[in-house]
Structure 1
């Protein structure tokens, strides 16, 4: 014999009930069945609302009752043949007349007690089960209706009654032995106490009813038919990639349902678990899908190759209550006193954690119970507070509990580290932790605003480890930005297949427009960005990134803007990784530079700026590797400006110097203002960054800059600059000729030695490593304690949108 339960969505309307009827017919061919049904979807809430309105002397309760009556009359007309409808229409009308009389009494008295609440709310299941049974009878099936309230006996704890199992089991066994019908239809949720008063089993009680019946009659299987295909690895409303769980143990199902998995009412499991009865969760609207099997008889022989966890559950609207004080240490009874006063106020404790020093104890409760709990605790511990043995109870609200559940977690090392590590890397602060000795569950309390992010982070870490979703926020759509975006679109399939990374452009901004998309911008959305984006604001862009709070977020700065650099600190403090092509932050005053690096380290995020020096060349990475391995850099000599190298490699006096500079700008080698390159400002910033990364405290104004540009070139606009540059052509010819007459060439060189740095134009002889440097190439020569005689040389293309974008791309991949 099997027990089937159909929930509110499964019996929401006639169309859904017909689908349920098909399942009932098929199952009844296999074995005798008991079918437990809920009220029509939303009816219980409306019944209670009508009674509450009546208690507030609001005559709108009459209309609410009329609406519910019509809903049930319409159902009779749709499920029962016309010739047989009359008696059932009268049946519905009679019971709604009774309900209206009850509410009229509530209206007069202005009182709505829990006892009356149970009486009113019991009408939903009573009516739906009768109508469904009648519909099946008129289709010729061997059906009998059983009034659960006559056979399930409880105490008088109205709205959440406790079942008297022995008496209930005797009643149900006798009824089913006496009545041999193939199909028994019964209402869920409702019961009665020893005095015959209506009681209910709490919200979700229809599941519980089905479990009680299955346990009482030793059913072969309990089936819960709902609107999802079983229990999921996470709430699908929060996690788009949530997967059905094929099978799960009773203990695991208990943990998931206790901490918020809504598909199963927590008390449901206990009765069938005690009798080792399999429980299967199925989808009424996709009956051929296998659903989830909850059983003691799971085949889990190869534990090492199975997933560590089976699911993640979450519970919102949580509050933490903390009792602490030195007077608690070594004194028995504080915990008992705390739980006793909460129990007296009927406050359910969801989670408990206590410090090993016994200095404090923290409990998690539902936020709705905070007021009663606070008053009860303060009253119970009033004397202890006055004597300074403990502090007044501390309350934190707007929290969520996230639970990672799985029997395979037991004795597996590193599970907690993996859990806390991925949360920490995404800036999610944990307020409390609890783990049972069974090791089936690790529960954490976090801010409610981080709940969705946390569930997604954990789901990705434990259930989707094959592909990591990375959310990019790119600021800057100039030459480098455009190339970077092209590379992301072109290379993303490779990254997914080989590095298991999926890059999504979740936000894009330039100086005019910005746009966001949690699912990632498509190529077409990117192309239409300047037409469809909203007005840009860097401050607003940062706040949007923070408020969206997406996992694995990376902010990518491909601008030269100080305004953009100003938002780094705010983002790093929210554990948003930063990849910067922009040199302003790393070359700002030393304390700010150091502060940004410290914030990144303290908030478990990355701050990468490899492309600040040498575009895509591995220069900063090389320095970091040398320092990390214990080496010390003693000197650096470098040509760091692709622009200046391009200019002096191409200037031979046959074409004006200004024309060569204009060509460099046109080909994308210069900063937007070429004077930053030609005046040595950009090179000075680069040697400053290298010196700092090498471990030296250096400020920008300490760098000696031997500029070759006439002072007049620095005045006015960029257009004015080119006019002045042409005016001083002879100056540049003289520089060239002087070097040529000495058999040398001109290179703009940056040097760092003995804690000091300088930049300037130098004459380079053919024997130097700097001589054979062509096009836009850069070169950096490191001398270290290990590389003292033969220096370490990094050489290659050091400018250009393509190579710079590739360097930024590499930093993005390294950051995740």
Structure 2
């Protein structure tokens, strides 16, 4: 297996013989320091379409495109499939676009005899998508997937449960690099909703992202604030959060931000779960997914583990690539 190209918004670096490990390390270091690929040694200035056209002109054996962006890359992915490439996605957006675009992408992959793998779109390196397919391929039927799929929110509620103030807990998460640059992007629940929709579409949910019931944790008065002002005013929401934590604790519960996915309905929001629930045991940035199926009905299948971080995400991507490389 060889890495023959690296592509970013500025351009690409390509070598049909394979980019060596030292060269890949040098490119990664240059990117980390702010140098775009187009300005790297051997780099070419081009858009994604031109980069793919260039790669497709070479006789590459079993080519795989890996998408680790956070953009709507549907057109680029279709171009790659048309050129005979398999797809590995860590990018959730193409899988949560309008249903018509999602179906077109799946249909094109099937038509071209290519595979689209996306394990790391839900749960980073945890085997969530793989578990779903193994259950279904063995004749089981998945009826519901319940879970806490946000490492950032998992960390936040773990800290709140240990008595930290909301402002302290959120600032601590920011210091560790867990949330998006604007933490309201995590608090609004849309990242969890996208993960839930990816699972929902596997189960047959026919709707769109806007059909999901999503509870935002961003206070109404904070939604339009500039980022700096929002962060400066975090202390204002400490008392409301303290009351919510105490209310949950008084009924022997803990707060968790949970998604519930079924073929007909997807809900995302804050709940107080009983201390005996598997969700109550979550720690740090761990994710948890609970599969209720025909076989695992009385005692559902539970998967727990780190759901965020570059190392576990990279491991999940590599696992998908290795699956395709061996076919």
Place the TM-score, normalised by the shorter chain, in its bin. Answer: 0.7 to 0.9
Q: Does 1:553 align with 2:63?
A: yes
**Counterpart in the other structure of 2:47:** 537
Deviations 1:108-146 (A, max 9, x none): xxxxxxxxxxxxxxxxxxxxxxxxxxxxxxxxxxxxxxx
Structure-2 residue corresponding to 1:518: 16
Q: Does the CA contact (< 8 Å) of 2:184 and 2:218 recur in 1?
A: no
Please tell me whether the aligned partners of residues 668 and 800 of structure 1 are also in contact (alpha carbons under 8 angstroms): no
Paired residue secondary structure (2:124): coil
Q: Which residue of the partner structure matches residue 705 of structure 1? A: 214
Larger Rg: 1
**Structure 1 residues 507 and 711 mapped into 2: Cα distance closer, same or farther (>3 Å)?**
farther
Task: From the superposition, tell whether residues 753 and 600 of structure 1 become closer, same or farther in structure 2 (CA, over 3 Å).
Answer: closer
CA-atom RMSD, angstroms? 2.2
Partner of 1:744: 253
- Alpha-carbon spacing, 1:668–1:603, altered in 2? closer, same or farther (3 Å): farther
Matches within 5 A, 1:279-290: none
Cα offsets for 1:482-539 (capped at 9, x unmatched): xxxxxxxxxxxxxxxxxxxx3x221112344531121222344331553423445233
- 2:116 is aligned to 607
Q: Is the 8 A contact 1:736 1:745 kept in 2?
A: yes
| Alignment: residue pair count | 313
Residue 762 (structure 1) aligns with? 271
Unaligned runs of 5+ in 1: 1-501
* Cα distance per residue 1:613-662 (max 9 Å; x no partner): 11111111111122222222212211111111011112358654344334
Query: 2:6 aligned with 1:508, yes or no?
Result: yes
Unaligned runs of 5+ in 2: none
Distance 2:52 2:227 in 1: 31
Residues 814, 665 of structure 1: alpha-carbon distance in 2 compared, 3 angstrom cutoff: farther
Is 2:65 aligned against 1:569? no
How far apart are 1:716 and its partner, in Å?
A: 5.0
Take 2:234 and 2:214, find their aligned partners in 1: how far apart are those partners? 19
Q: Aligned in 2, Cα 1:551/1:725: closer, same or farther, shift over 3 Å? A: farther
2: CA distance, partners of 1:646 / 1:730: 19
Query: Hey, what's the Cα distance between the residues in 2 that align with 1:600 and 1:617?
Result: 24
- 1:643 matched to 2:141: no
Query: Using CA pairs below 8 Å that are at least 6 residues apart, which structure has the higher relative contact order?
Result: 2
SS state of the match for residue 525, structure 1?
A: helix
Pick closer, same or farther for the CA change 1:601–1:645 going to 2, 3 Å.
Answer: same
> Aligned to 1:505, what secondary structure does the other structure show?
coil
Q: Work out whether 1:587 is the aligned partner of 2:74.
A: no
Deviation at 1:717, TM superposition (A): 5.0
Map of 1:466 onto structure 2: none
User: 1:775 — aligned with what?
Assistant: 284
Offset at residue 569 of structure 1 (A)? 1.0
Aligned equivalents of 2:222 and 2:61: distance in 1? 48
1:737 is displaced (CA, Å) by: 2.5
TM-score (norm 2): 0.87
Which residue is 1:798 aligned to?
307
Q: CA distance change for structure 1 residues 729 and 566 in 2, over 3 Å: closer, same or farther?
A: farther
**Contact kept? 2:74, 2:105, Cα under 8 Å:** no
TM-score by length of 1: 0.37
Q: Deviations over 1:170-200 (max 9, x none)?
A: xxxxxxxxxxxxxxxxxxxxxxxxxxxxxxx
* CA positional deviation for 1:549: 4.7
What is the aligned partner in structure 1 of residue 132 from structure 2? 623
Question: What SS does the corresponding residue of 1:567 show, helix, strand or coil?
Answer: helix
Alignment equivalent of 1:596, drawn from 72, 86, 105: 105
Q: 1:578 aligns with which of 67, 70, 87?
A: 87
SS at match of 2:102: helix
- CA distance change for structure 1 residues 713 and 566 in 2, over 3 Å: closer, same or farther? farther
Distance 1:762 1:607, change over 3 A: same
SS of residue paired to 1:774? coil
Aligned to 1:811: 320
1:23-58 Cα deviation digits (max 9, x unpaired)? xxxxxxxxxxxxxxxxxxxxxxxxxxxxxxxxxxxx
The verdict on how the C-alpha distance between 1:726 and 1:561 changes in structure 2, with shifts beyond 3 A counting, is farther
Q: CA deviation at 1:785?
A: 1.6
| Distance of 1:813 and 1:669 partners within structure 2 | 28
Contact 1:624 1:693 in 2 (8 A): no
Listed one character per residue, the Cα deviations across residues 197-243 of structure 1 (whole Å, up to 9, x for unaligned) are xxxxxxxxxxxxxxxxxxxxxxxxxxxxxxxxxxxxxxxxxxxxxxx
CA contact (8 A) 2:65 2:85 kept: yes
Matches within 5 A, 1:50-69: none
Q: Is the 8 A contact 2:188 2:218 kept in 1?
A: yes
Q: What is the CA–CA distance in structure 1 between the aligned matches of 2:106 and 2:59, rounded to whole Å?
A: 22
Compute the displacement of 1:573 (Å). Answer: 1.6
Q: Whole-Å Cα distance in 2 between the matches of residues 636 and 648 of structure 1? A: 21
